[in-house]
């Protein structure tokens, strides 16, 4: 079943292009700024044993925030170590703190160690194993990036301690973590070290889940943290979206490592269901209550929760599924997230982040009920540099820094190109300015595999493919065209970049008779800044589309004729008044970068 392996980001260097710029901003601005805010908010200093400031409830996630930041920094060092000596120094300092903080028995958690009266591994919804998992991921990443094993030793020692308590002595109050993460982290430990015990631990946590009665928060039921049924019996994506996806990642890892077919079937079902609960921007988890999945096609725009971490975790799951099946739907979802929810979650200056990612901002949602002092619960409309629970910023950092992970998979016969990013490795050179431009050129470099596969994105209704200058007339199969190639082949793919309108499944009541504009994989939106009051505007489902250079990003604004509606009665028969009005669309990922402004992705049809 393990049909493909990942071509990891560090084996491929990104060359000029869209993502190279993003990675530079990420390394030069975002990652240092996240460190700065973490330092200010005691996330680093709370690792000092003598540090005294009291910690609040959400501070029990602190170690995971710091570990994810370390992981992000490790990826930067892995590809550009020479350019970031200061960053490496910082990492080594933080790692030293983790090492110093670790108990002799291996336990490590700055929050619980600060409260010696709190028993360890006692309340399942606490995030001890989640934090442990992130330390393991960081440890693997830093070891692979630098060859330094200090953090890996810490992680291994902690893993051994966890193994002793959960698998051997079984003297913990629960058997599976309330927040998944350690499962996929243990597989990373297994992949990196080859030690069977980590695989066994991952399998233990996966197999126990849903087979024993365990606790969760009182306001939620057992679907919240996915322990209603054994994992192989899961049929729909339920509960806390990030927890769910981290679990599915572990499940996909187990399917890959152990060839567990039931697990693969469950993963496929869960993917199918999650796609029905996904925003057009790739966001998932529409309900802020519990940061949860709801029912299929329940995708409210203005109160969309759509956590940045959730979208990222969906990418992580899809990446794992691509190792099991060459199915373009996984890569399509990855692309949808990459160019929309993921990109949008960071401000264009690289400093601030969205936790929630609304698809509509309408100021009057906040003020509609002016007699009530209490304001309604809505997502934040501006990005922030740090949050009380600041899981998203370093998650975004690590994902952008390792975006190269998503480009290729390979097996002995072929390399598969999933994402169109200008890059080069020892087998291939990809040239493109996608998603700005429409052309992707792939050149083989002593390519010896015989076959090469390229994804034709589902959004693209007109793709032209040529091999060594000769037009290829092949229908994609499961989203890919597979070609027999020689060692120096040149493949040219042209994807029609004419903007197009998309609609949502009719069962999505929020979006009936509304359209969103896409150009390639990039979803667009209307901002008040460009269009004035958005409330009376309507789209006409046709072009022509005029591309206008934008100073916000390399992607153009798109101008298209729509309508501005008005009526002189609350209720009327026949048609209301309408006048033509040019609507200016801007890429979704650029919204909220010019001050507060109403915004909408889904525009009602005229």
User: Which residues contact its own copies (rule: CB under 8 A)?
Assistant: 218-221, 223-224, 238-240, 275-276, 278, 280, 287, 289-290, 292-295, 297-298, 362, 364, 367-374, 459, 461, 500-509, 512-514, 535-536, 538, 565-567, 569-573, 576, 604-605
Tokens describing residue 2: 């393990």
**Per-residue CA distances from 65 to 39, 72, 131, 364 (Å):** 11, 11, 8, 35
Task: Compute the least distance from the CB of residue 507 to its own copies, in Å.
Answer: 5
Question: Is 391 designated active site?
Answer: yes
Active site residue 180: no
Cis check: omega of the bond before 271, within 30 degrees of 0: no
Instruction: Supply the DSSP symbol for 510.
Output: G
How far does Cα 477 stand from its chain's mean position?
26
Helix (H, G, I), strand (E, B) or coil at 603: strand
| Residue with Cβ nearer its own copies (204 or 297) | 297
Q: How far is the CB of 387 from its own copies (least distance, A)?
A: 22
Residue carrying the six token digits 């120096």: 488
Q: Are 362 and 598 in contact (CB under 8 A)?
A: yes
Q: What b/e readout covers 504-530, taking b as 16+ CB neighbours within 10 angstroms?
A: beeebebbeebbbbbbbbbbbbbbbbb
CB-nearer residue toward its own copies: 253 or 510: 510
Paired strand residues for 583: 560
Residue 588 CB, shortest distance to its own copies, in Å, is 14
Q: Which is nearer to its own copies, 43 or 127 (CB)?
A: 127
- Please say which residue, 101 or 240, places its beta carbon nearer to its own copies: 240
Q: Which of 128, 291, 360, 528 is catalytic?
A: 291
Give the SS3 label for residue 232: helix
Nearer to its own copies, 157 or 600 (CB): 600
Q: How far is the CB of 87 from its own copies (least distance, A)?
A: 39
- Shortest reach from residue 581's CB to its own copies, in Å: 12
298/433 with CB nearer its own copies: 298
Q: Which is nearer to its own copies, 117 or 571 (CB)?
A: 571
Q: Shortest distance, CB of residue 313 to its own copies, whole angstroms?
A: 17
Annotated active-site residue in 46, 91, 318, 391: 391
Alpha-carbon span 207 to 214, nearest angstrom:
14
Contact present, 305 and 379 (Cβ < 8 Å): yes
Parallel, antiparallel or unpaired: strands 577-587 and 557-566: antiparallel
Q: How far is the CB of 367 from its own copies (least distance, A)?
A: 7
In whole angstroms, the minimum distance from the beta carbon of 145 to its own copies comes to 37
Sheet harboring 13-14: ordered strands across?
13-14, 423-424, 428-432, 439-444, 490-495, 463-467, 470-472
Nearest-approach distance from CB 438 to its own copies, in angstroms: 17
The DSSP result for 434-494, as a single string, is: TTTSSEEEEEESS--SSEEEEE--TT-S-EEEEETTEEE----BTTEEEEE--TT-EEEEE
**Strand order of the sheet with strand 480-484?**
5-6, 408-410, 414-417, 451-455, 480-484
Nearer to its own copies, 106 or 239 (CB): 239
Residues 491 and 466: their CA atoms lie apart, in Å, by 6
139 or 460, CB closer to its own copies? 460
3-class DSSP state for residue 309? helix
Q: Which residue number, 349 or 533, has a Cβ lying nearer to its own copies?
A: 533
Tokens of 216: 């969760």
Helix (H, G, I), strand (E, B) or coil at 199: helix
**Minimum gap (Å) between residue 602 Cβ and its own copies:** 11
What Cα–Cα distance (Å) separates residue 448 from each residue in 2, 401, 419?
21, 29, 21
The per-residue DSSP string of 77-119 comes to HHHHGGG-HHHHHHHHHHHHHHHHHS-TTS---HHHHH-TTSP
First to last CA, the chain: 49
Q: Are 404 and 9 in contact (CB under 8 A)?
A: yes
Query: Reduced to 3 states, what is the DSSP secondary structure of residue 546?
Result: strand
Please give the positions annotated as active site: 291, 391
């Amino acid at each position: 079943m393990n049909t493909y392996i990942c071509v990891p980001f560090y084996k491929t260097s990104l060359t000029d292009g869209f993502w190279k710029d993003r990675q530079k901003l990420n390394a030069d601005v975002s990652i240092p700024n996240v460190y700065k805010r973490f330092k200010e908010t005691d996330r680093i200093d709370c690792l000092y044993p003598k540090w005294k400031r009291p910690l609040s409830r959400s501070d029990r996630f602190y170690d995971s925030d710091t570990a994810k930041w370390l992981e992000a920094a490790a990826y930067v060092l892995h590809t550009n170590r020479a350019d970031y000596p200061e960053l490496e120094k910082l990492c080594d300092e933080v790692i030293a703190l983790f090492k110093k903080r670790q108990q002799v028995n291996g336990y490590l958690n700055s929050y619980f160690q600060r409260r010696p009266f709190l028993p360890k591994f006692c309340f399942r919804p606490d995030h001890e194993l989640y934090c442990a998992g992130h330390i393991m991921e960081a440890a693997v990443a830093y070891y692979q990036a630098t060859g330094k094993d200090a953090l890996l030793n810490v992680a291994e020692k902690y893993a051994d301690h966890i193994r002793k308590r959960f698998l051997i002595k079984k003297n913990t109050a629960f058997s599976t973590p309330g927040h998944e993460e350690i499962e996929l982290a243990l597989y990373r430990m297994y992949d990196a070290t080859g030690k069977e015990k980590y695989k066994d631990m991952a399998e233990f946590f996966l197999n126990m889940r849903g087979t024993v009665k365990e606790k969760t928060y009182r306001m939620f039921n057992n679907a919240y943290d996915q322990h209603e049924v054994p994992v192989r019996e899961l049929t729909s994506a339920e509960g806390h979206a990030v927890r769910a996806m981290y679990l599915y990642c572990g499940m996909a890892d187990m399917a890959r490592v152990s060839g567990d077919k039931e697990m693969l079937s469950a993963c496929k079902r869960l993917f199918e269901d999650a796609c029905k609960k996904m925003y057009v921007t790739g966001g998932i988890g529409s309900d802020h209550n519990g940061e949860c999945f709801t029912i299929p096609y329940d995708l409210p725009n203005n109160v969309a929760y759509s956590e940045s971490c959730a979208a990222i975790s969906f990418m992580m799951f899809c990446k794992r599924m691509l190792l099991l099946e060459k199915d373009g739907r996984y890569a399509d979802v990855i692309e949808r997230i990459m160019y929309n929810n993921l990109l949008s979650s960071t401000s264009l200056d690289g400093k601030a982040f969205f936790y929630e990612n609304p698809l509509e901002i309408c100021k009057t949602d906040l003020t509609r009920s002016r007699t009530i002092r209490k304001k309604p619960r809505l997502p934040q409309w501006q990005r922030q540099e740090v949050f009380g629970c600041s899981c998203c910023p370093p998650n975004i950092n690590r994902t952008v820094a390792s975006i190269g992970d998503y480009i290729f998979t390979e097996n002995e016969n072929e390399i598969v190109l999933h994402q169109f990013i200008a890059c080069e490795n020892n087998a291939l050179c990809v040239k493109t300015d996608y998603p700005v431009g429409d052309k992707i050129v792939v050149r083989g470099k002593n390519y010896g595999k015989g076959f090469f596969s390229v994804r034709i994105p589902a959004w693209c209704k007109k793709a032209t493919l040529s091999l060594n200058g000769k037009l290829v007339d092949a229908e994609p199969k499961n989203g890919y065209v597979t070609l027999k190639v020689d060692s120096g082949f040149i493949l040219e793919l042209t994807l029609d970049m004419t903007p197009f309108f998309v609609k949502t499944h009719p069962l999505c009541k929020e979006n009936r008779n509304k359209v969103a504009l896409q150009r390639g994989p990039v979803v667009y939106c209307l901002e008040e800044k460009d269009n004035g009051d958005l409330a009376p505007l309507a789209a006409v489902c046709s072009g022509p589309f005029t591309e206008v250079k934008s100073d916000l990003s390399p992607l153009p604004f798109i101008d298209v004729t729509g309508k501005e509606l008005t009526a002189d009665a609350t209720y009327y028969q026949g048609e209301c008044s309408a006048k033509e009005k040019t609507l200016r669309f801007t890429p979704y990922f650029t919204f909220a970068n010019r001050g507060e402004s109403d915004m909408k992705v889904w525009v009602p049809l005229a």
